[in-house]
Structure 1
Amino acid sequence: MSRYSMNEFVKQTQQQDKGEGLFELETPRMLEINLNGQIWAKAGAMISYRGNIKYEREGIFEHGLGKLFKKAFTGEGTSLMKATGNGKLYVADQGKKISILHLQGESIFVNGNDLLAFEPSIEWDIKLMRKIAGMMSGGLFNVRLEGNGMIAITSHYEPLTLLVTPNHPVYTDPNATVAWSGSLTPEFVTDISFKTFIGRGSGESIQMKFSGEGFVVVQPYEEVYFSDQQ
């Protein structure tokens, strides 16, 4: 049948220029970066490129001693790579769905494992959730991003954004929490009855409580973190 021909396959799946700027969703799970300068991306996320692009792993003192110490302490797995040059760079992360955000002076916290790429104009810092470290496998950390520029985050399947208001706090499973607005500071609560009800391991009794004014992004998937992740 002609609809299964090789030409038809190429036609249906070939790359297309959409003219959307620096970050462009080539597919819901693949990000095209129209590079003309520099970008930061999750190490190992590059799947293809064309043009003259140079890659460097994040230098040990690239972002200052403070962040180096925090990275060593968290044992986190989101090492960064710096891509410099001109061309098209394609990045993805285990087939996770990609969302593009254009920060315009705002700030957002992103689970460290869900940060895919961001512009150098974005200021960032690692925040370890100390109260939960040790309570979950490998602990949990996030990255605070702020400023003006593009960032790309990932989620398993479609993300859902829940609004937080002073009268309506939101509780989430840490393993299913992708991001939250910079105005919020989560606190960690344990619920023994909840743990007993669902009959799972001790980590399931830990919940994140968001109070105030803002939003929380969750995914329909519980991501497991490992302390030996590199």
Structure 2
Amino acid sequence: MRSELFAAENLEKESAQPGLRLQNSKMLKIELNGECMARAGSMVAYQGDVRFQALGAGGFGKFLKQKLTGEGVPLMKISGRGDVFLANFAADVHLIDLEPGDALSINGSSVLAFDSTLQYDIKMVQGMGMASSAGLFNCVFTGQGRIAITTRGAPVVLTVDQPTYVDPQAAVCWSAGLQTGYHRAEQLGLGTLLGRSTGEAFTMSFAGQGFVVVQPSEEPPVAGAGQQQGGGVLGGLFD
């Protein structure tokens, strides 16, 4: 049987070391020998002796925070030995290696998978007010290990060495040590030009030393963070 479908770039990528790696720009491959954490529902295929366990937001404390803030990651634990392939609506997949002392603040909707050696918590983004429908809380990852994130399209990584401003729904992740703020678009002379598709009239500011990853698309506003649905924030606890 012959077809361009069977070209080398489409064949399964093999490696001698277990862990997270790119199968291609849209798909993550986990060569599993132990356990890993992943976004619930992101598995598209697997081979071998692999087990999946739903974890919600990663513990009861994180579950409550997720319900209160609208932020967090619906997780599953993957364990066993084999190959697991993950994707999220054909979004671009990127790998980040965290070292001891690193801290990464990331929009929960952009988390695809991460090593179980990493820790994360849901924390308020400093300097953010309650007047916006943007997510005011992010997942902050620390420890040593690899994390796979997704972006809607090819991102730009901005080095924050001068005042930097980003549409809140386009900000994927940033160095957790950066100072963040929140500004009305009118204060920057942008009027209603920003966020016409999301209803946002605000922009995030970043200062300090670090980076911010910006995607060429906007995530929808996060329910529960500055918004109220289904009886308000507390009502969401019983959804």
> What's the TM-score once normalised by structure 1's chain length?
0.85
1:157 matched residue in structure 2: 153
Distance 1:202 1:115, change over 3 A: closer
TM-superposed deviation, 1:225: 3.3
Of the candidates 161, 176, 182, which is equivalent to residue 176 of structure 2?
Answer: 182
1:111 matched residue in structure 2: 107
1:46-65 correspondence runs (5 A): 46-58=43-55, 63-65=59-61
Aligned to 2:216, the other structure's residue is in SS state coil
Q: Which moved more, 1:38-47 or 1:189-198?
A: 189-198
Aligned to 1:58, the other structure's residue is in SS state strand
2:28 matched residue in structure 1: 31
> Identity rate of aligned residues, in percent?
34
**What is the one-letter code of the residue matched to 1:120?**
S
Q: 2:156·2:214 contact (CA, 8 Å) conserved in 1?
A: yes
Aligned to 2:191, the other structure's residue is in SS state helix
RMSD in angstroms over aligned alpha carbons?
Answer: 2.6
1:70 matched residue in structure 2: 65
Q: Which moved more, 1:180-189 or 1:30-39?
A: 180-189
TM-superposed deviation, 1:155: 0.6
> What's the TM-score once normalised by structure 2's chain length?
0.82
TM-superposed deviation, 1:196: 3.0
* 1:123 paired to 2:102: no
Distance 1:132 1:32, change over 3 A: farther
1:136 matched residue in structure 2: 133
**What is the one-letter code of the residue matched to 1:75?**
G
Distance 1:132 1:78, change over 3 A: farther
TM-superposed deviation, 1:141: 3.0
2:82 matched residue in structure 1: 87
Of the candidates 204, 209, 225, which is equivalent to residue 208 of structure 1?
Answer: 204
Q: 1:78·1:112 contact (CA, 8 Å) conserved in 2?
A: yes
State how many pairs are aligned: 221
Q: 2:99·2:143 contact (CA, 8 Å) conserved in 1?
A: yes
In structure 2, runs of 5+ residues without a counterpart are 224-228, 230-238
**What is the one-letter code of the residue matched to 1:117?**
A
2:232 matched residue in structure 1: none
TM-superposed deviation, 1:64: 4.8
1:194 matched residue in structure 2: 190
**What is the one-letter code of the residue matched to 1:101?**
I
Aligned to 1:220, the other structure's residue is in SS state coil
TM-superposed deviation, 1:159: 1.6
**What is the one-letter code of the residue matched to 2:178?**
L
1:102 matched residue in structure 2: 97
Q: 1:135·1:203 contact (CA, 8 Å) conserved in 2?
A: no
